[in-house]
Structure 1
Amino acid sequence: MTLEEAKEYLHIDYEEPLLPSIIEEAEIYIDFMVGEGYKTDEKAVKLAGILQKKLINDMYENRSAEVPEGTKQDKIVTSILDKLSLF
């Protein structure tokens, strides 16, 4: 995902110094969790893009990649990671 795509998704019209690293961290997280096999399938890449947007939004809004203790598991994230791991 490009910086401009992320800014558009987050409705940001200014320079946000943290955003480039958040984009990179979201991609690294997905690749680390499921490998890179999904990148050979067009639909899986689109699905990963949905997940990346969600992760970027969560990290941007919370200014953290940490999940507070007691937080319920996110079913969207879990189901997408499960599907991507099949590739």
Structure 2
Amino acid sequence: MIVELTLADAQEYLKVDSDYDKDYITELLDTSQIYIESCVGTAYQTDEKAVKLATLLQKKLIADMYDQRGTEIANNTKQDKITQSILDKLSNYYTET
């Protein structure tokens, strides 16, 4: 169950009505997804609740990067308790081989 956050979802969350930053927000979508997957893998994507948590985290990461006007995840975001607790929860999923 892979549910990807869309550009329209991100723009709505950021309260951006124009397409002016469309390419930039698309880059933030990609960066945030890569960050989450590099931290916890992809096994969480089989659980609906975990996907919802990952989507929430992705929105937070995108908002932080959008506010900072950069594609780097800031240290204060990485150390944020909500960010850490969601990453910890998502990392508990694993793929049996």
**TM-score of the superposition, structure 1-length normalised?**
0.91
What is the number of residues matched between the two proteins? Answer: 85
Runs (5+) with no aligned partner, structure 2 = none
Displaced runs of 4 or more, over 6 A: none
Residue matched to 2:38: 32
Instruction: Tell me the residue number matched to 1:11.
Output: 15
2:53 matched to 1:52?
Answer: no
| TM-aligned CA distance change 1:14 to 1:20, over 3 Å | same
Q: Secondary structure at the match of 1:18?
A: helix
Cα drift, residue 23 of structure 1: 0.5
Query: 2:86 is matched with which residue?
Result: 80
- What is the CA distance between 1:66 and its match in structure 2? 4.5
Aligned AA for 1:74?
D
TM-score calculated relative to the size of structure 2: 0.82
Q: What stretches of structure 1 of length at least 5 have no aligned partner?
A: none
Take 2:64 and 2:6, find their aligned partners in 1: how far apart are those partners? Answer: 17
Are the aligned partners of 2:61 and 2:73 in contact in 1 as well (CA < 8 Å)? no
Q: Percent identity?
A: 51
SS in 1 for 2:17: coil
Give distance in 1, aligned partners of 2:73 and 2:42: 23
